[in-house]
Amino acid sequence: MGSMTEPFPLAPSLWAATAPPAPPTPPLEGSVSADVCVVGAGYAGLSTALHLAERGIKTIVLEAHEPGWGGSGRNGGQVIPGIKYDPDEIEAMFPDHGADLAAFVGSTAEAVFDLIDRHGMDVPRVRNGWIQGAHTPHAVETVRGRAEQWARRGARTAFLDKAATERHLGTAQYDAGWIDYRGGAIQPLAYARGLARAALAAGASIHGGSKVAALARSGSRWTATTERGASVVADKVVVCTNGYTGDLVPRLRQTVIAPNSFQVATAPLSDNVRKSILPEGQVTSDTRNLLLYFRLDHAGRFVIGGRGPFREPRSAVDWAHLERIIEKMYPQLKGAPIEHRWCGRVALTRDFLPHLHEPEPGLLIDIGCMGRGVGLQTAMGMRMAAYVATGDKRALPFPVVPIKPLPLHPMHKAYVSAIIAWYRMTDGGVKAAA
Ligand SMILES: Cc1cc2nc3c(=O)[nH]c(=O)nc-3n(C[C@H](O)[C@H](O)[C@H](O)COP(=O)(O)OP(=O)(O)OC[C@H]3O[C@@H](n4cnc5c(N)ncnc54)[C@H](O)[C@@H]3O)c2cc1C
């Protein structure tokens, strides 16, 4: 796309093929100073930078590739409020501020659509709700409770029985479901680029091709040095590298497991076929541990994602399981050409919560999106900006916790493969359509 970004290309994907051009984000040269240096230009880093710049705080973002290169440019584009835990659980887990935390996680989809509107971003989007299908009878009670808990807190939700779920999804795959009307869909890379443009317009600087190789503190100032030897000296650093975290901060990478999630997209479907799948424009994912998520995009392509090998893909065979699932769920898609195959890394924590760390004064870290970060990381960025600007920890929705590596992290690839095999067995397969 943009010539400034060519040396740091995005992985090919449906989103890379259809997004509006990237704004210019040339590599950092020389040594510059700022109030805040943000490392990583996904939703978390870009939202932090936008909201700092709007407060008049001089902010420089350093990104190894280009904005949206990581999970933010590759995801399913499903804008889903909430986290893994239901609001009643959140209130029980955090007796002091659980109600505020539940309200925060419930507000994250709204934050995305509001920012897109406020900044006039060029982002294909739809907001007709997100449906979660229950894949077992036990999960029916889970989704019923989920819908009720959020409704009690004022959200527009509904439990869908088996027939209603089938009507909405166009497949009889699920025993029931619930719909959360706060959710919707975006073109994820267009949104990352929209955030980058908004942050630039607010006065932030963003440098692609600027991988930070070292972070060093001297007194109250931090120096972030890039692989090419350029540097930013700043009062504060915010690290937002999530599933692509390397060894920049000691032991941080070992706090998460970062598996790949795989996706495929068909060619645009004919009108007739399109009307038979998610006809009311919702997006959906299910209650499996290794969840399946699917939707139509703005041009009527069927897009589905799910598990895949932990390693980077070697050939189209690594996506074949998703292609088989498409035909089982929607026989009318048999033979539909698959035009795009891609994947990206999510970051999973041991307690299934996103983690905030502050290992030294002036160094704030956000990691562990748990695979649901379009809304969450956007809203986290807003709160991190408020904290960095004011020093008031109450701005942070989650507690700041110590960096605690997972036990046996060096074994994590074998460990993840074992978990995937176990979940594949216990989740059960996709049923063939009758
Ligand atoms: C395939 C897939 C499907 C998903 N589907 C959904 C979905 O439908 N809905 C949803 O809500 N969530 C979804 N997610 C999760 C969501 O995409 C992520 O939670 C979110 O994008 C994370 O944003 P982030 O800013 O934290 O990290 P990222 O977007 O991953 O950004 C991290 C950035 O840090 C940069 N970086 C790393 N190290 C350095 C360094 N040393 N110096 C400079 N830069 C560095 C990387 O290049 C990268 O650009 C999905 C994720 C994937 C991968």
Distance CA 288, CA 142 (A): 12
Residue 97: pLDDT above 90?
A: yes
Q: How much is the pLDDT for 422?
A: 67
State pTM to two decimals: 0.96
Host H or E run for residue 265: strand 260-266
SS3 394: helix
Q: Is the CB of 43 under 6 A from ligand 1?
A: yes
- Confirm if 240 and 364 have CB atoms less than 8 A apart: no
Is the model more confident about 72 or about 428? 72
Host H or E run for residue 205: strand 205-207
Residue 228: pLDDT above 50?
A: yes
Residue 308: pLDDT above 50?
A: yes
- Confirm if 67 and 208 have CB atoms less than 8 A apart: yes
Distance CA 415, CA 418 (A): 5
Distances (CA, A) of 52 to 15, 46, 306: 27, 10, 35
Residue 6: pLDDT above 60?
A: no
Predicted confidence band of residue 381 (pLDDT cuts 50, 70, 90): very high
Atom 24 of ligand 1 has which residue's CA nearest to it?
A: 42
Residue 4: pLDDT above 50?
A: no
Q: How much is the pLDDT for 3?
A: 39
Half-sphere exposure (Cβ direction) of 15: Cα atoms closer than 13 Å: 30
Distances (CA, A) of 184 to 197, 219, 222, 280, 290: 22, 46, 39, 11, 21
Residue 417: pLDDT above 80?
A: no
Where residue 389 falls (left for φ over 0; alpha for ψ -120 to 50; beta otherwise) is alpha
Residue 408: pLDDT above 80?
A: no
SS3 160: strand
Residue 25: pLDDT above 70?
A: yes
Dump pLDDT digits (tens) for 337-360.
999 999 999 999 999 999 999 999
Best probe residue, ligand 1, of 15, 244, 252, 370 (max atoms within 8 Å of C-beta)? 244
Distance 71 CA to ligand 1 centre (A): 3
Q: Is the CB of 64 under 6 A from ligand 1?
A: yes
Distance 65 CA to ligand 1 centre (A): 12
Predicted confidence band of residue 10 (pLDDT cuts 50, 70, 90): confident
The first and second tokens of residue 184, run together, are 């919707």
Atom 51 of ligand 1 has which residue's CA nearest to it?
A: 75
Distance 243 CA to ligand 1 centre (A): 6
Q: Is the CB of 76 under 6 A from ligand 1?
A: yes
